[in-house]
Amino acid sequence: VTSLLTFTRTKKGRYEWIQLVGHPGTFKEGFHDGYILKELCEYERYCCEVLQSDRLKHFVPKYNGTVKDEEGKSYIEIEDLLAPFNDPCIMDCKIGVRTYLEEDLEKSERDPVPRADLYEKMIAIDSSAPTEEEHDEKKILKPRYMIWRETLSSSQELGFRIEAIKKSRGLMSKEFQRIKYREDVRKQIMEFLANSVPRATRYLNRLLELRSTCLRSKFFETHELIGSSLLFVHDANRASLWMIDFGKTRKLSSDIHITHSQAWQRGTHEDGYLIGIDNLILLFQDIIDELTSG
């Protein structure tokens, strides 16, 4: 269940903090100025900590350790990336060719009971998606559903998908998750950029820097990044992007090496992270070409 909500900073009132996707109640105002709290997930905490001393550290929120609230619930305290911005426009792009872990797929296969609710979800989106047998049964197996769902967005083809966009003072939408084709993705990004060449160029340079840093990063070499996003943020004066959301990022076992740039096959653990980055780079280059060709 993803939701869109606005978190308004009351203490200072200088800016409001906006959560684009994710579960409501996951985030709270931080104990320190310029920081927010995110519900503790040990996998994510570990990544945040390791990343502070990795080459990628300038591409991730600063991490300030864990804290507990009045109810004893644990959080990680991370940098509020929106803090320096004024009325920011935000885009969350989920990177990679798949958004579930191999172990989640395995887990779903251990439960061989076909489900009516998944059948209902499937036909609500595409009534022609179920096979004849599935139509007869009116039930779908969980792993089949998980693999099918990935084909709805641009993830498999482009190695990334737009999760949500919030334009300045505008509405947020998560309808984006079903945008599949490159041309439609390009249109959405064009609109997000409001046709600004300097802004597109700043994002492009940051993407190029991220790419070359990934290739030299120990963390990147040794981890599988699933369901992680790039958060694009700009206002009238600046534009930048960061890596966020490491809840499904896992250290690879030492006998597994991934390229991050090959299609996924069962057992390879390939995440397609660089496929996504490369396609974003190409899209931004296309957009800049189009905007400057007059």
The CA radius of gyration of the chain, in Å to the nearest whole number, is: 20
Q: Which does 78 bind (CB under 5 to 8 A by kind): ligand ATP, Mg ion, none?
A: ligand ATP
In whole angstroms, how far apart are CA 268 and each of 33, 42, 289? 42, 24, 36
Query: What sign does the CA torsion over 54, 56, 58, 61 have?
Result: negative
The interface with Mg ion within residues 214-253 (CB under 5 A) comprises 229, 245, 247
List the one residue out of 279, 290, 92, 277 whose CA is nearest residue 190: 290
Compute the least distance from the CB of residue 131 to Mg ion, in Å.
32
CB nearer to ligand ATP: give 141 or 193. Answer: 193
CB nearer to ligand ATP: give 20 or 193. Answer: 20
Site string for ligand ATP, 104-123 (x = CB under 6 A): --------------------
Supply the DSSP symbol for 75.
Answer: E
- Name which position in 80, 134, 270, 271 contacts ligand ATP (CB under 6 A): 80
| Contact between 231 and ligand ATP per CB under 6 A | yes
Task: Determine contact, residues 95/228, Cβ cutoff 8 Å.
Answer: yes
SS3 147: helix
Interatomic CA distance for residues 58 and 42, integer angstroms: 22
| Contact between 84 and Mg ion per CB under 5 A | no
CB nearer to Mg ion: give 77 or 245. Answer: 245
CA 97 to chain centre: 11
- Largest CA-CA distance found in the chain, in angstroms, rounded: 59
| Contact between 48 and ligand ATP per CB under 6 A | no
Compute the least distance from the CB of residue 95 to ligand ATP, in Å.
11
Binding site for ligand ATP (CB under 6 A): 2, 19-23, 26, 36, 61, 78-82, 90, 92, 227, 229, 231, 244-245, 247
Binding site for Mg ion (CB under 5 A): 229, 245, 247
